[in-house]
Amino acid sequence: MDKFSVFSSRLVEKSENFTSGHRACQGCAEALAVRHVMKALGRDTVVAMSTGCMEIISSPLPLTSWRVPWIHNAFENSAAVISGCESGMKAMMRKGKIPAKKINFVAMGGDGATADIGMGALSGALERGHDMVYICYDNEAYMNTGIQRSSSTPYGASTTTSPAGKVSIGQHTQKKNMAQIAVAHNIPYVATACSSFPFDLMEKVKRAAETPGAAYVHVLSVCPTGWRIPTQDAIKYGRLAVDSCVFPLYEVIEGEYRLSYKPYKKLPLTEYLKGQGRFRHLTDKEIQMIQQRVDKDYERILRLSEEEK
């Protein structure tokens, strides 16, 4: 979809179901991702959202940014809440209390709510196979409360609870690969996306919503505040993450891998790391080590997607 460059942006959905005037930081690519996701989903959607940046900024008490039914729940249970909604709606449609039509049930959460706190509820919902979509907005730390590390924080990143210094390198564990965990549940649709590739993101969300059964979409959302980059560069860093293969974009449909974007020229990891304040303490040796791991992970995805062809 990337090739439809100029005029297609005038042809995408115009209505805004996640409206402007919310309180996100300048340059927030996560709010942008939510906006594109809501464009793709349309009005017939029920959203359950975990506590996190997007919940805080979109619903300060008398106001809301949401034009769809929206439930705020605790940190851990958005997947459980949406599976309850889906089952309830199914029962009411069966009894004829509401007219039968296609309604999208969507749970959303940040990386903390998905990979750390809500992991059990999410795993349960995926296993039960509800007709729902889970969307994880991954900004690689608990940004809302002040940049604490999560299990989705990449190796070497400095956060307030994993500060880099003389003794510590920063985050000393590897990033948890949530998309692969979702694939391991054998659900019909898993995808990774990034808000710097809006057409691709919208396509994937549409496909996830159309898929009967559980679907999982992992969206990399650049956070200028937490990644310590200039606010105008949020989109650029999303593209760099994909072009340097740190975050490959792929889909897994019924267990079959499909690479949705192959970088024209694979960029070295330094391109992605050098501008970010959270990585500025890394030495060449450490970057080399991370590069090896990135290459290995990317080659695995590449191999899996080529085997399917």
Which residue number, 44 or 308, has a Cβ lying nearer to other proteins? 44
- The beta-carbon contacts of 180-184 under 8 Å, at least 24 apart in sequence, are 181/123, 182/126, 182/134, 182/216, 182/218, 183/252, 183/255
Tell me which stretch binds other proteins (CB under 8 A): 7-15, 154-162, 172-180, 248-256. 7-15
User: Applying CB under 8 A, does 7 fall inside the site for other proteins?
Assistant: yes
Is 131 among the residues that bind other proteins (CB under 8 A)?
no
Nearer to other proteins, 148 or 211 (CB): 211
- Least distance to other proteins from the beta carbon of 158, Å? 26
Interatomic CA distance for residues 8 and 284, integer angstroms = 42
Query: Of 16, 26, 43, 146, which one interacts with other proteins (CB under 8 A)?
Result: 43
Considering only residues 5, 62, 97, 166, which one is a binding residue for other proteins as defined by CB under 8 A?
A: 5
Say how far apart CA 263 and CA 283 lie, in whole Å. Answer: 26
Site for other proteins in 198-257 (CB under 8 A): 236, 239, 243
Pairing assessment for the beta strands 215-220 and 189-194 based on DSSP bridges: parallel
Among the listed residues 225, 224, 206, the one whose alpha carbon sits nearest the alpha carbon of residue 215 = 206
Give the Cα separation of 226 and 262 in Å (integer).
Answer: 27
The nearest distance, CB 34 to other proteins, in angstroms, is 20
- Residue count, binding to other proteins (CB under 8 A): 20
Q: What is the DSSP string of 123-158?
A: HHHHHHT-S-EEEEEE-SSBTTTT-B--TTSPTT--
Does the protein bind other proteins through residue 96 (CB under 8 A)? no
Of the pair 93, 289, the CB lying nearest other proteins is at: 93
Amino acid at 209: A
CB of 257 to other proteins, least distance (A): 21
Question: In this complex, which beta carbon is closest to other proteins, that of residue 65 or of residue 162?
Answer: 65
Q: How far is the CB of 2 from other proteins (least distance, A)?
A: 9
- Binding flag, residue 8, other proteins (CB under 8 A): yes
Q: Is 265 in the site for other proteins (CB under 8 A)?
A: yes
Residues 6+ apart with CB under 8 A from 143: 53, 110, 223, 225, 226
Q: How far apart are CA 238 and CA 198, in angstroms?
A: 11
The residues binding other proteins (CB under 8 A) are 3-8, 10-11, 14-15, 43-44, 99, 101-102, 236, 239, 243, 264-265
